[in-house]
Amino acid sequence: MTINDNYQRWLNSPIVSLDLKETLKKMSQEEIDDAFFKDVEFGTAGMRGILGPGTNRLNIFTIRRATVGFALYVLEKFPDAKKQGVVISHDNRHQSRSFTLLTAQVLNDFGINTFIFDSLRPTPELSFAVRYLKTCGGVMITASHNPKNYNGFKVYDETGCQLIPQKIERLVELINSLPNELNVTYEPVTPRGVNQVLDHTIDDVYVELVKKISINPDLPKEGYKIVFTPNHGTSYVNTMRIFNDFGYDVTPVLSQIEPDPDFSGTLSPNPEDPRSYIEPVKLAQEIKANLVVMTDPDGDRVGLAYLASDATYKTFTGNQSAALLIDYIFSERKKKGLLSKDGVMYSTIVSSSLGRKIAESYGVKVEEFLTGFKFIGNRIDYYEKHGGPHFEFGYEESYGCLISPFARDKDGCQAILLYCEMALFYHLQGKTLDIVWKELNERFGWHVDKVFSIEFTGPTGFMSMNELMAKLHDNPPKELDGVAVVKVEDYLKQLTIVGKETTPINLPQSDVVKLFFADGNIICVRPSGTEPKVKFYFGIVGEDEEASEAKPDILYKHFKEKLGI
Protein backbone atom coordinates (compact mmCIF):
# COMPACT_ATOMS: atom_id res chain seq x y z
CA MET A 1 0.00 0.00 0.00
CA THR A 2 1.08 3.55 -0.67
CA ILE A 3 1.27 6.23 2.00
CA ASN A 4 -1.97 7.71 0.75
CA ASP A 5 -3.70 4.30 0.67
CA ASN A 6 -2.87 3.76 4.32
CA TYR A 7 -3.96 7.29 5.19
CA GLN A 8 -7.33 6.80 3.49
CA ARG A 9 -7.72 3.37 5.10
CA TRP A 10 -7.53 5.05 8.50
CA LEU A 11 -9.83 7.92 7.49
CA ASN A 12 -12.49 5.51 6.23
CA SER A 13 -12.27 2.91 9.01
CA PRO A 14 -15.34 2.60 11.27
CA ILE A 15 -13.17 1.66 14.26
CA VAL A 16 -10.97 4.77 14.15
CA SER A 17 -12.44 7.35 16.52
CA LEU A 18 -13.76 10.71 15.36
CA ASP A 19 -11.04 12.43 17.41
CA LEU A 20 -8.29 10.52 15.59
CA LYS A 21 -9.93 11.24 12.25
CA GLU A 22 -9.96 14.95 13.07
CA THR A 23 -6.25 14.72 13.86
CA LEU A 24 -5.68 12.96 10.53
CA LYS A 25 -7.53 15.67 8.61
CA LYS A 26 -5.39 18.40 10.18
CA MET A 27 -2.10 16.74 9.22
CA SER A 28 0.23 18.34 6.70
CA GLN A 29 1.51 16.19 3.85
CA GLU A 30 4.88 15.95 5.60
CA GLU A 31 3.17 14.69 8.77
CA ILE A 32 1.12 12.19 6.77
CA ASP A 33 4.26 10.90 5.07
CA ASP A 34 6.03 10.35 8.39
CA ALA A 35 2.98 8.73 10.04
CA PHE A 36 2.29 6.24 7.23
CA PHE A 37 5.47 5.51 5.27
CA LYS A 38 6.21 2.36 7.29
CA ASP A 39 5.02 0.30 10.26
CA VAL A 40 6.44 1.26 13.66
CA GLU A 41 9.35 -1.11 14.28
CA PHE A 42 11.08 -2.93 17.11
CA GLY A 43 14.52 -1.37 17.70
CA THR A 44 17.25 -1.67 20.34
CA ALA A 45 14.70 -1.00 23.09
CA GLY A 46 11.48 -2.52 21.77
CA MET A 47 8.84 -0.59 19.86
CA ARG A 48 9.00 3.17 20.35
CA GLY A 49 7.42 6.03 18.45
CA ILE A 50 5.43 9.23 18.39
CA LEU A 51 1.90 9.03 19.76
CA GLY A 52 -0.92 9.54 17.28
CA PRO A 53 -2.80 7.99 14.37
CA GLY A 54 -0.83 6.12 11.72
CA THR A 55 1.05 2.91 11.02
CA ASN A 56 4.34 4.49 12.13
CA ARG A 57 2.84 5.75 15.37
CA LEU A 58 2.02 4.44 18.84
CA ASN A 59 -1.75 4.12 19.31
CA ILE A 60 -4.30 1.58 20.54
CA PHE A 61 -4.21 -0.25 17.21
CA THR A 62 -0.43 -0.67 16.89
CA ILE A 63 -0.19 -1.57 20.60
CA ARG A 64 -3.01 -4.09 20.22
CA ARG A 65 -1.36 -5.74 17.20
CA ALA A 66 2.00 -5.98 18.99
CA THR A 67 0.30 -7.50 22.04
CA VAL A 68 -1.49 -10.12 19.96
CA GLY A 69 1.90 -11.04 18.52
CA PHE A 70 3.43 -11.23 22.00
CA ALA A 71 0.55 -13.43 23.21
CA LEU A 72 1.16 -15.84 20.33
CA TYR A 73 4.89 -15.74 21.10
CA VAL A 74 4.64 -16.71 24.79
CA LEU A 75 1.98 -19.37 24.08
CA GLU A 76 4.28 -20.90 21.47
CA LYS A 77 7.37 -20.77 23.68
CA PHE A 78 6.02 -21.70 27.13
CA PRO A 79 3.75 -24.73 27.72
CA ASP A 80 2.48 -23.17 30.95
CA ALA A 81 2.33 -19.58 29.68
CA LYS A 82 -1.29 -19.00 30.62
CA LYS A 83 -0.66 -19.80 34.29
CA GLN A 84 2.81 -18.23 34.52
CA GLY A 85 1.51 -15.00 33.10
CA VAL A 86 3.08 -11.68 32.12
CA VAL A 87 3.95 -8.65 34.28
CA ILE A 88 3.09 -5.22 32.86
CA SER A 89 4.28 -1.84 34.11
CA HIS A 90 4.24 1.71 32.79
CA ASP A 91 5.72 5.18 33.18
CA ASN A 92 4.11 8.64 33.39
CA ARG A 93 3.52 9.28 29.70
CA HIS A 94 0.34 10.06 27.82
CA GLN A 95 -1.76 6.88 27.38
CA SER A 96 0.68 4.74 29.39
CA ARG A 97 -2.01 3.51 31.79
CA SER A 98 -4.56 2.89 29.02
CA PHE A 99 -1.92 1.01 26.98
CA THR A 100 -1.16 -1.09 30.08
CA LEU A 101 -4.82 -1.99 30.56
CA LEU A 102 -5.20 -2.72 26.84
CA THR A 103 -2.14 -5.00 26.90
CA ALA A 104 -3.52 -6.86 29.92
CA GLN A 105 -6.95 -7.21 28.28
CA VAL A 106 -5.53 -8.71 25.07
CA LEU A 107 -3.30 -11.15 26.97
CA ASN A 108 -6.25 -12.14 29.18
CA ASP A 109 -8.34 -12.73 26.02
CA PHE A 110 -5.73 -15.32 25.04
CA GLY A 111 -6.07 -16.97 28.46
CA ILE A 112 -2.81 -15.53 29.80
CA ASN A 113 -2.75 -14.25 33.38
CA THR A 114 -1.38 -10.76 33.89
CA PHE A 115 0.07 -8.82 36.80
CA ILE A 116 -0.05 -5.04 36.80
CA PHE A 117 0.99 -2.45 39.37
CA ASP A 118 -1.55 -0.07 40.89
CA SER A 119 0.30 2.86 39.30
CA LEU A 120 3.53 3.71 37.50
CA ARG A 121 6.73 1.81 38.37
CA PRO A 122 10.32 2.03 37.04
CA THR A 123 11.63 -0.21 34.29
CA PRO A 124 14.19 -2.03 36.52
CA GLU A 125 11.42 -2.95 38.97
CA LEU A 126 9.46 -4.48 36.07
CA SER A 127 12.55 -6.53 35.19
CA PHE A 128 12.85 -7.63 38.82
CA ALA A 129 9.12 -8.45 39.08
CA VAL A 130 9.35 -10.85 36.11
CA ARG A 131 12.08 -12.73 37.96
CA TYR A 132 10.43 -12.53 41.38
CA LEU A 133 7.02 -13.77 40.16
CA LYS A 134 8.60 -16.30 37.76
CA THR A 135 6.41 -15.17 34.88
CA CYS A 136 7.10 -16.03 31.25
CA GLY A 137 7.65 -12.42 30.29
CA GLY A 138 7.03 -8.75 30.87
CA VAL A 139 5.94 -5.58 29.09
CA MET A 140 7.03 -2.05 29.98
CA ILE A 141 5.02 0.81 28.50
CA THR A 142 7.58 3.61 28.26
CA ALA A 143 9.49 5.87 25.91
CA SER A 144 12.32 6.22 28.42
CA HIS A 145 14.02 9.63 28.00
CA ASN A 146 12.34 10.59 24.71
CA PRO A 147 10.27 13.80 24.37
CA LYS A 148 6.71 13.99 25.68
CA ASN A 149 5.04 13.09 22.36
CA TYR A 150 6.59 9.59 22.42
CA ASN A 151 5.64 6.31 24.04
CA GLY A 152 6.85 2.74 23.71
CA PHE A 153 6.30 -0.98 24.21
CA LYS A 154 9.30 -2.91 25.59
CA VAL A 155 9.09 -6.70 25.89
CA TYR A 156 10.96 -8.88 28.38
CA ASP A 157 11.70 -12.58 28.50
CA GLU A 158 11.34 -14.94 31.45
CA THR A 159 14.74 -13.89 32.86
CA GLY A 160 13.70 -10.24 33.16
CA CYS A 161 15.84 -9.29 30.15
CA GLN A 162 14.66 -7.42 27.08
CA LEU A 163 14.32 -9.74 24.12
CA ILE A 164 17.59 -10.19 22.23
CA PRO A 165 17.51 -10.33 18.39
CA GLN A 166 17.18 -14.13 18.20
CA LYS A 167 13.98 -13.88 20.25
CA ILE A 168 12.75 -10.62 18.73
CA GLU A 169 13.00 -12.19 15.25
CA ARG A 170 10.33 -14.76 16.08
CA LEU A 171 8.12 -12.16 17.75
CA VAL A 172 8.41 -9.88 14.69
CA GLU A 173 7.58 -12.84 12.41
CA LEU A 174 4.42 -13.48 14.38
CA ILE A 175 3.42 -9.80 14.36
CA ASN A 176 4.07 -9.54 10.62
CA SER A 177 1.92 -12.63 10.00
CA LEU A 178 -1.08 -10.78 11.40
CA PRO A 179 -3.47 -8.58 9.40
CA ASN A 180 -2.79 -4.85 9.52
CA GLU A 181 -3.29 -2.94 12.76
CA LEU A 182 -6.94 -2.05 11.99
CA ASN A 183 -7.94 -5.56 10.89
CA VAL A 184 -6.41 -7.74 13.62
CA THR A 185 -9.13 -9.95 15.09
CA TYR A 186 -9.22 -12.95 17.41
CA GLU A 187 -11.73 -14.94 19.44
CA PRO A 188 -11.26 -14.62 23.23
CA VAL A 189 -10.73 -18.01 24.82
CA THR A 190 -12.55 -19.51 27.78
CA PRO A 191 -11.53 -19.25 30.52
CA ARG A 192 -9.95 -15.84 30.07
CA GLY A 193 -6.72 -15.02 31.91
CA VAL A 194 -6.97 -13.20 35.22
CA ASN A 195 -5.56 -9.70 35.70
CA GLN A 196 -4.12 -9.24 39.20
CA VAL A 197 -3.15 -5.86 40.66
CA LEU A 198 0.08 -6.23 42.62
CA ASP A 199 0.40 -4.99 46.19
CA HIS A 200 3.51 -3.36 47.67
CA THR A 201 5.34 -6.64 48.27
CA ILE A 202 7.33 -6.24 45.06
CA ASP A 203 8.32 -2.71 46.07
CA ASP A 204 9.45 -3.84 49.53
CA VAL A 205 11.57 -6.74 48.28
CA TYR A 206 13.07 -4.68 45.44
CA VAL A 207 14.03 -1.76 47.72
CA GLU A 208 15.67 -4.08 50.26
CA LEU A 209 17.76 -5.68 47.51
CA VAL A 210 18.86 -2.25 46.28
CA LYS A 211 19.93 -1.30 49.79
CA LYS A 212 22.14 -4.40 50.02
CA ILE A 213 24.44 -3.20 47.21
CA SER A 214 25.88 -0.43 49.40
CA ILE A 215 29.58 -0.95 50.04
CA ASN A 216 30.07 1.71 52.73
CA PRO A 217 26.57 2.22 54.20
CA ASP A 218 27.79 3.80 57.44
CA LEU A 219 29.65 6.79 56.02
CA PRO A 220 28.76 9.90 58.08
CA LYS A 221 26.28 12.00 56.13
CA GLU A 222 25.94 15.12 58.28
CA GLY A 223 26.31 18.31 56.27
CA TYR A 224 26.29 16.55 52.91
CA LYS A 225 23.35 17.79 50.83
CA ILE A 226 21.81 16.16 47.77
CA VAL A 227 19.21 17.43 45.29
CA PHE A 228 17.13 14.78 43.52
CA THR A 229 14.67 14.84 40.63
CA PRO A 230 12.79 11.95 38.98
CA ASN A 231 11.96 14.22 36.00
CA HIS A 232 8.21 13.68 36.55
CA GLY A 233 8.79 9.94 36.21
CA THR A 234 8.65 6.62 38.02
CA SER A 235 11.55 6.59 40.48
CA TYR A 236 10.48 9.12 43.11
CA VAL A 237 8.88 6.83 45.72
CA ASN A 238 11.50 4.06 45.71
CA THR A 239 14.47 6.42 45.56
CA MET A 240 13.28 8.71 48.36
CA ARG A 241 12.58 5.66 50.49
CA ILE A 242 16.16 4.45 49.97
CA PHE A 243 17.58 7.91 50.71
CA ASN A 244 15.60 8.13 53.95
CA ASP A 245 16.59 4.63 55.08
CA PHE A 246 20.27 5.53 54.64
CA GLY A 247 19.94 8.89 56.34
CA TYR A 248 20.88 11.09 53.38
CA ASP A 249 19.91 14.77 53.48
CA VAL A 250 17.97 14.95 50.21
CA THR A 251 15.86 17.81 48.85
CA PRO A 252 13.63 16.85 45.89
CA VAL A 253 12.83 19.29 43.10
CA LEU A 254 9.17 19.71 44.03
CA SER A 255 8.18 21.06 40.62
CA GLN A 256 9.38 17.81 39.01
CA ILE A 257 8.15 15.05 41.34
CA GLU A 258 4.59 14.65 40.06
CA PRO A 259 4.14 12.08 37.25
CA ASP A 260 3.25 14.70 34.67
CA PRO A 261 3.10 13.42 31.05
CA ASP A 262 3.76 16.92 29.74
CA PHE A 263 6.99 17.29 31.75
CA SER A 264 5.82 20.79 32.62
CA GLY A 265 8.52 21.36 35.24
CA THR A 266 11.52 20.67 33.01
CA LEU A 267 12.73 21.62 29.54
CA SER A 268 13.89 18.02 29.02
CA PRO A 269 13.50 14.73 30.92
CA ASN A 270 16.72 13.36 29.41
CA PRO A 271 19.91 13.33 31.57
CA GLU A 272 21.91 13.61 28.32
CA ASP A 273 20.35 17.02 27.68
CA PRO A 274 21.95 19.98 29.57
CA ARG A 275 18.49 21.58 29.91
CA SER A 276 17.41 18.82 32.31
CA TYR A 277 19.85 20.18 34.92
CA ILE A 278 18.60 23.79 34.96
CA GLU A 279 16.01 23.50 37.74
CA PRO A 280 17.84 20.99 39.98
CA VAL A 281 21.07 23.02 39.78
CA LYS A 282 19.14 26.19 40.58
CA LEU A 283 17.83 24.47 43.73
CA ALA A 284 21.31 23.16 44.54
CA GLN A 285 22.68 26.69 44.39
CA GLU A 286 19.95 27.92 46.75
CA ILE A 287 20.58 25.29 49.42
CA LYS A 288 24.33 24.91 48.73
CA ALA A 289 24.01 21.22 47.87
CA ASN A 290 27.03 19.05 47.15
CA LEU A 291 25.43 16.80 44.56
CA VAL A 292 22.52 16.68 42.09
CA VAL A 293 21.17 13.30 40.94
CA MET A 294 18.37 12.57 38.50
CA THR A 295 16.69 9.69 36.75
CA ASP A 296 14.98 9.69 33.40
CA PRO A 297 11.19 9.11 33.36
CA ASP A 298 11.27 5.29 33.47
CA GLY A 299 13.98 5.24 36.14
CA ASP A 300 16.72 3.28 34.42
CA ARG A 301 19.23 6.08 33.64
CA VAL A 302 21.00 8.42 36.07
CA GLY A 303 22.65 11.77 35.47
CA LEU A 304 24.55 13.82 38.04
CA ALA A 305 25.88 17.31 38.60
CA TYR A 306 28.29 18.18 41.37
CA LEU A 307 29.76 21.13 43.22
CA ALA A 308 33.25 21.39 41.76
CA SER A 309 36.46 22.71 43.28
CA ASP A 310 35.84 26.14 41.68
CA ALA A 311 32.46 26.39 43.49
CA THR A 312 30.43 25.95 40.27
CA TYR A 313 28.17 23.04 39.34
CA LYS A 314 29.42 20.76 36.60
CA THR A 315 27.97 17.67 34.93
CA PHE A 316 29.44 14.40 33.73
CA THR A 317 28.75 12.40 30.60
CA GLY A 318 27.57 8.85 31.07
CA ASN A 319 31.04 7.59 30.21
CA GLN A 320 32.65 9.83 32.83
CA SER A 321 30.27 9.06 35.68
CA ALA A 322 30.44 5.33 34.94
CA ALA A 323 34.25 5.41 34.93
CA LEU A 324 34.31 7.08 38.34
CA LEU A 325 31.81 4.55 39.68
CA ILE A 326 33.75 1.57 38.27
CA ASP A 327 36.91 2.75 39.98
CA TYR A 328 35.13 3.40 43.29
CA ILE A 329 33.29 0.06 43.34
CA PHE A 330 36.25 -2.06 42.28
CA SER A 331 38.76 -0.33 44.57
CA GLU A 332 36.47 -0.59 47.60
CA ARG A 333 35.51 -4.19 46.85
CA LYS A 334 39.18 -5.07 46.47
CA LYS A 335 40.00 -3.34 49.76
CA LYS A 336 37.28 -5.34 51.54
CA GLY A 337 38.06 -8.65 49.82
CA LEU A 338 34.76 -8.53 47.91
CA LEU A 339 36.15 -8.41 44.37
CA SER A 340 35.92 -11.76 42.61
CA LYS A 341 39.10 -13.33 41.26
CA ASP A 342 37.02 -14.38 38.26
CA GLY A 343 35.05 -11.18 37.71
CA VAL A 344 33.69 -9.71 34.52
CA MET A 345 32.39 -6.27 33.56
CA TYR A 346 30.12 -5.65 30.59
CA SER A 347 29.99 -2.54 28.39
CA THR A 348 29.14 -1.73 24.78
CA ILE A 349 31.04 -1.09 21.58
CA VAL A 350 30.22 2.64 21.79
CA SER A 351 31.31 3.06 25.42
CA SER A 352 34.59 4.73 26.36
CA SER A 353 37.78 2.70 26.44
CA LEU A 354 38.46 4.21 29.88
CA GLY A 355 36.01 1.85 31.58
CA ARG A 356 37.84 -1.15 30.12
CA LYS A 357 41.24 0.14 31.26
CA ILE A 358 40.01 0.71 34.81
CA ALA A 359 38.41 -2.72 35.06
CA GLU A 360 41.45 -4.51 33.68
CA SER A 361 43.69 -2.67 36.15
CA TYR A 362 41.78 -4.50 38.92
CA GLY A 363 42.03 -7.85 37.17
CA VAL A 364 38.41 -7.78 35.99
CA LYS A 365 37.70 -9.17 32.52
CA VAL A 366 35.72 -7.00 30.10
CA GLU A 367 33.23 -8.04 27.44
CA GLU A 368 31.67 -5.58 24.99
CA PHE A 369 28.31 -5.91 23.25
CA LEU A 370 26.15 -4.06 20.79
CA THR A 371 24.16 -1.11 22.09
CA GLY A 372 21.17 -2.28 24.12
CA PHE A 373 21.28 -3.49 27.72
CA LYS A 374 19.46 -6.67 26.68
CA PHE A 375 22.79 -8.08 25.49
CA ILE A 376 24.30 -7.52 28.93
CA GLY A 377 21.27 -9.02 30.69
CA ASN A 378 21.35 -12.04 28.40
CA ARG A 379 25.06 -12.59 29.06
CA ILE A 380 24.51 -12.47 32.82
CA ASP A 381 21.93 -15.24 32.49
CA TYR A 382 24.20 -17.30 30.22
CA TYR A 383 27.14 -17.22 32.61
CA GLU A 384 24.96 -17.97 35.63
CA LYS A 385 23.76 -21.13 33.89
CA HIS A 386 27.18 -22.14 32.57
CA GLY A 387 29.45 -21.38 35.51
CA GLY A 388 31.10 -18.43 33.81
CA PRO A 389 32.86 -15.44 35.37
CA HIS A 390 31.18 -13.56 38.22
CA PHE A 391 29.26 -10.40 37.29
CA GLU A 392 30.86 -7.28 38.78
CA PHE A 393 29.32 -4.38 36.85
CA GLY A 394 27.55 -3.49 33.61
CA TYR A 395 27.03 -0.15 31.91
CA GLU A 396 26.20 1.78 28.75
CA GLU A 397 27.53 5.21 27.85
CA SER A 398 23.96 6.54 27.86
CA TYR A 399 23.85 6.88 31.66
CA GLY A 400 22.77 3.29 32.40
CA CYS A 401 24.40 1.06 35.04
CA LEU A 402 23.69 -2.23 36.79
CA ILE A 403 25.50 -3.08 40.01
CA SER A 404 23.69 -6.22 41.18
CA PRO A 405 21.90 -8.54 38.72
CA PHE A 406 18.67 -9.14 40.63
CA ALA A 407 17.33 -6.91 37.84
CA ARG A 408 18.41 -7.57 34.26
CA ASP A 409 18.16 -4.04 32.93
CA LYS A 410 20.01 -0.87 33.81
CA ASP A 411 18.81 0.28 37.22
CA GLY A 412 18.55 3.93 38.23
CA CYS A 413 17.81 3.17 41.89
CA GLN A 414 20.96 1.08 42.21
CA ALA A 415 23.05 3.65 40.36
CA ILE A 416 21.81 6.61 42.41
CA LEU A 417 22.60 4.89 45.69
CA LEU A 418 26.18 4.11 44.64
CA TYR A 419 26.78 7.49 42.99
CA CYS A 420 25.75 9.25 46.19
CA GLU A 421 27.90 6.93 48.27
CA MET A 422 30.86 7.45 45.93
CA ALA A 423 30.57 11.25 45.99
CA LEU A 424 30.21 11.24 49.79
CA PHE A 425 33.21 8.92 50.14
CA TYR A 426 35.45 11.36 48.27
CA HIS A 427 33.89 14.39 49.98
CA LEU A 428 34.96 12.97 53.33
CA GLN A 429 38.51 12.85 51.94
CA GLY A 430 38.24 16.53 50.96
CA LYS A 431 37.95 15.79 47.25
CA THR A 432 35.38 17.16 44.82
CA LEU A 433 34.51 14.93 41.86
CA ASP A 434 36.41 17.05 39.33
CA ILE A 435 39.58 16.38 41.32
CA VAL A 436 38.81 12.65 41.40
CA TRP A 437 38.19 12.75 37.64
CA LYS A 438 41.50 14.51 37.03
CA GLU A 439 43.36 11.91 39.12
CA LEU A 440 41.68 9.11 37.18
CA ASN A 441 42.79 10.55 33.84
CA GLU A 442 46.31 11.14 35.12
CA ARG A 443 46.43 7.39 35.75
CA PHE A 444 44.99 6.26 32.41
CA GLY A 445 45.41 9.17 29.95
CA TRP A 446 42.93 11.90 29.10
CA HIS A 447 39.74 10.36 27.74
CA VAL A 448 37.18 12.57 26.02
CA ASP A 449 34.12 10.82 24.61
CA LYS A 450 31.45 12.83 22.84
CA VAL A 451 28.27 11.91 20.94
CA PHE A 452 26.78 13.91 18.06
CA SER A 453 23.60 13.12 16.15
CA ILE A 454 21.81 14.06 12.93
CA GLU A 455 18.05 13.61 12.54
CA PHE A 456 16.55 11.96 9.45
CA THR A 457 12.76 12.28 9.60
CA GLY A 458 10.13 11.05 7.17
CA PRO A 459 10.57 8.74 4.15
CA THR A 460 13.16 11.00 2.48
CA GLY A 461 15.18 11.19 5.68
CA PHE A 462 14.91 7.43 6.10
CA MET A 463 16.38 6.92 2.62
CA SER A 464 19.16 9.45 3.29
CA MET A 465 20.04 7.68 6.53
CA ASN A 466 20.27 4.33 4.75
CA GLU A 467 22.40 5.87 2.00
CA LEU A 468 24.80 7.33 4.57
CA MET A 469 25.22 4.00 6.33
CA ALA A 470 25.62 2.13 3.02
CA LYS A 471 28.40 4.55 2.06
CA LEU A 472 30.23 3.86 5.32
CA HIS A 473 29.89 0.09 4.91
CA ASP A 474 30.95 0.04 1.25
CA ASN A 475 33.66 2.70 1.29
CA PRO A 476 34.78 3.66 4.82
CA PRO A 477 37.26 6.56 5.09
CA LYS A 478 40.92 5.59 4.96
CA GLU A 479 42.09 8.64 6.88
CA LEU A 480 40.89 11.79 8.63
CA ASP A 481 43.01 14.93 9.09
CA GLY A 482 46.03 13.00 7.86
CA VAL A 483 45.69 10.20 10.46
CA ALA A 484 45.25 6.75 8.93
CA VAL A 485 42.38 4.39 9.74
CA VAL A 486 44.17 1.21 10.86
CA LYS A 487 41.15 -0.97 11.57
CA VAL A 488 37.46 -1.07 10.67
CA GLU A 489 34.83 -3.03 12.56
CA ASP A 490 31.78 -3.52 10.34
CA TYR A 491 28.99 -5.04 12.40
CA LEU A 492 26.64 -5.36 9.42
CA LYS A 493 29.19 -7.46 7.55
CA GLN A 494 30.29 -8.91 10.93
CA LEU A 495 33.92 -8.41 9.99
CA THR A 496 37.00 -6.75 11.44
CA ILE A 497 39.08 -5.37 8.59
CA VAL A 498 42.80 -4.60 8.92
CA GLY A 499 44.34 -3.84 5.54
CA LYS A 500 43.32 -6.76 3.34
CA GLU A 501 42.90 -9.14 6.28
CA THR A 502 39.46 -9.87 7.73
CA THR A 503 38.35 -11.71 10.85
CA PRO A 504 34.76 -12.47 11.92
CA ILE A 505 32.99 -10.49 14.65
CA ASN A 506 31.16 -12.81 17.03
CA LEU A 507 28.25 -10.47 17.75
CA PRO A 508 24.77 -10.18 16.20
CA GLN A 509 24.49 -8.33 12.91
CA SER A 510 23.93 -4.60 13.36
CA ASP A 511 24.10 -1.47 11.23
CA VAL A 512 27.27 -0.09 12.87
CA VAL A 513 30.69 0.97 11.58
CA LYS A 514 33.59 1.58 13.98
CA LEU A 515 36.83 3.22 12.79
CA PHE A 516 40.13 2.90 14.66
CA PHE A 517 42.81 5.50 13.93
CA ALA A 518 46.59 5.27 14.16
CA ASP A 519 46.69 7.80 17.02
CA GLY A 520 44.37 5.67 19.20
CA ASN A 521 41.20 7.67 18.55
CA ILE A 522 37.92 6.01 17.57
CA ILE A 523 34.81 7.02 15.61
CA CYS A 524 31.70 4.84 15.74
CA VAL A 525 28.58 5.48 13.63
CA ARG A 526 25.16 3.86 14.13
CA PRO A 527 21.50 4.69 13.53
CA SER A 528 19.57 5.16 16.76
CA GLY A 529 17.38 2.22 17.68
CA THR A 530 14.72 4.48 19.18
CA GLU A 531 14.63 7.68 17.11
CA PRO A 532 15.09 8.63 13.40
CA LYS A 533 18.68 9.80 13.70
CA VAL A 534 22.27 8.68 13.24
CA LYS A 535 24.66 8.89 16.18
CA PHE A 536 28.37 9.63 15.86
CA TYR A 537 30.54 8.54 18.80
CA PHE A 538 34.02 10.06 19.13
CA GLY A 539 36.52 8.53 21.55
CA ILE A 540 39.67 10.61 22.09
CA VAL A 541 42.68 9.64 24.19
CA GLY A 542 45.51 12.11 24.71
CA GLU A 543 48.15 13.38 27.08
CA ASP A 544 46.81 16.93 27.30
CA GLU A 545 43.37 17.78 28.73
CA GLU A 546 42.73 20.97 26.75
CA ALA A 547 43.72 19.54 23.38
CA SER A 548 41.75 16.35 24.01
CA GLU A 549 38.61 18.31 24.96
CA ALA A 550 38.69 20.32 21.73
CA LYS A 551 39.33 17.42 19.37
CA PRO A 552 35.87 15.74 19.05
CA ASP A 553 34.22 18.89 17.66
CA ILE A 554 37.04 19.41 15.17
CA LEU A 555 36.98 15.80 14.00
CA TYR A 556 33.18 15.76 13.76
CA LYS A 557 33.20 18.81 11.49
CA HIS A 558 35.84 17.30 9.23
CA PHE A 559 34.22 13.86 9.28
CA LYS A 560 30.91 15.30 8.08
CA GLU A 561 32.74 17.13 5.29
CA LYS A 562 34.41 13.88 4.24
CA LEU A 563 31.03 12.14 4.15
CA GLY A 564 29.41 15.00 2.25
CA ILE A 565 26.92 15.81 5.01
The C-alpha atoms of residue 376 and residue 295 are separated, in whole angstroms, by 20
Return the sign of the alpha-carbon dihedral for residues 274, 280, 281, 282: positive
Note the Cα 344 to chain centre separation in Å: 21
Q: Count H helices, E strands: the chain? A: 18, 24
The C-alpha atoms of residue 319 and residue 272 are separated, in whole angstroms, by 11
Classify the phi-psi angles of 279: left when phi > 0, otherwise alpha if psi is within -120 to 50, otherwise beta: alpha
Amino acid at 247: G
Classify the phi-psi angles of 47: left when phi > 0, otherwise alpha if psi is within -120 to 50, otherwise beta: beta
Amino acid at 145: H
The C-alpha atoms of residue 3 and residue 8 are separated, in whole angstroms, by 9
DSSP letter for each residue of 34-87: HHHSS---EETTEEEEEBSSSTTSBSHHHHHHHHHHHHHHHHHH-TTHHHH-EE
Task: Give the list of residues 6+ apart from residue 232 with CB closer than 8 angstroms, or none.
Answer: 92, 256, 257, 258, 259, 260, 261, 263, 264, 265, 266, 269, 297
The C-alpha atoms of residue 355 and residue 346 are separated, in whole angstroms, by 10
Q: Phi/psi at 108 (nearest 5 deg)?
A: -60, -40
Catalytic residue among 96, 144, 510, 528: 144
The C-alpha atoms of residue 92 and residue 99 are separated, in whole angstroms, by 12
Q: Which residues are bridge partners to 252 per DSSP?
A: 228
The C-alpha atoms of residue 346 and residue 428 are separated, in whole angstroms, by 30
Amino acid at 437: W
Amino acid at 106: V
Counting every residue written for the chain, the total comes to 565
Q: Is 177 a catalytic residue?
A: no
Whether 396 and 348 have beta carbons less than 8 Å apart is answered as yes
Whether 178 and 68 have beta carbons less than 8 Å apart is answered as yes
Helices 412-427, 433-444: crossing angle, 10 deg rounding = 90
The residues annotated as belonging to the active site are 144
